Amino acid sequence: MSSTVELTKENFDQTVTDNEFVLIDFWASWCGPCKQFAPVYEKAAEENPDLVFGKVDTEAQPELAAAFGIQSIPTLMIVRDQVAVFAQPGALPEAALTDVIGQARGLDMDEVRKAVAEQQAQQPQGSE
């Protein structure tokens, strides 16, 4: 039994809204590095049962891949409290994935939300 959830445009928003910590692996069946990363991701999912590990098949869900500007796969994204706190293309080795999960767990989400709000406030309004 897989510990990962297949994310689709139908269940994506609900999954991210209902869970405070979601990891998302954007992948495709033809992608060699994706296949190498899959067992590492699956193992991390088993070792972190309190977190949601989702997978987006970019071939089956092109709208989701486009919505997040996914240019290369695999791409790992971490969403906490509906804020993307990490996004990086490339297959991570097990130690790096463990480290990234630990860093994301340690984030002060109040600080992250404050930084996001400040960043949005600094962006010019209107389309020029």
Is the model's pLDDT at 120 over the cut of 60?
Answer: yes
Tokens of 94: 């097990």
Is the model's pLDDT at 128 over the cut of 50?
Answer: no
Enumerate the domain spans of the chain.
Answer: 5-122
DSSP for 20-82, please give it: SEEEEEEE-TT-HHHHHHHHHHHHHHHH-TTSEEEEEETTT-HHHHHHTT--SSSEEEEEETT
**Whole-prediction pTM value?**
0.90
Through-space distance between the first and last CA atoms of the chain, rounded to whole angstroms: 51
Which residues carry out catalysis? Answer: 31, 34
% of the chain surpassing 90 pLDDT: 85
Question: What CATH number has the domain spanning 5-122?
Answer: 3.40.30.10
Is the model's pLDDT at 123 over the cut of 90?
Answer: no
Is the model's pLDDT at 54 over the cut of 90?
Answer: yes
Taking only the tens place, the pLDDT of each residue in 60-110 is 999 999 999 999 999 999 999 999 999 999 999 999 999 999 999 999 999
- Please name which of 64, 70, 107 lies closest in space to residue 85, comparing C-alpha atoms: 107
